[in-house]
Amino acid sequence: MSRPEDAGAVADRFYAAFARRDAEAMAACYADDVSFSDPAFPALRGESARDMWRMLVSRGKDLRVEHQVLETTSDGVRCRVRWQAWYTFSGTGRAVHNRIEARLTVKDGRIVEHRDDFDFHGWARQALGAPGLLLGWTPMLKRKVQAQAGKALEKFRAERGGI
What pLDDT shows up at residue 2?
Answer: 52
11, part of any domain: yes
22, part of any domain: yes
pLDDT in tens, 89-131: 988 999 999 999 999 999 999 999 999 999 999 999 999 998 8
From CA 159, how far away is CA 163, in angstroms rounded? 9
Q: How many CB atoms lie within 10 A of CB 15?
A: 21
Domain count for the chain, please give it.
Answer: 1
44, part of any domain: yes
Structural domain boundaries, residue 45: 7-155
Strand 30-37 to 44-45 pairing: antiparallel
Residue 112 sits in a domain whose CATH number is 3.10.450.50
162, part of any domain: no
Per-residue pLDDT in tens (0 to 9) along the chain, 163 residues = 456 689 999 999 999 999 999 999 999 999 999 999 999 999 999 999 999 999 999 988 899 999 999 999 999 999 999 999 999 998 899 999 999 999 999 999 999 999 999 999 999 999 999 888 888 788 888 999 999 999 999 999 999 875 5
Torsion angle in degrees (nearest 10) through CA of 126, 131, 135, 136: -20
From CA 131, how far away is CA 7, in angstroms rounded? 38
What pLDDT shows up at residue 1?
Answer: 46
2, part of any domain: no
163, part of any domain: no
What pLDDT shows up at residue 66?
Answer: 97
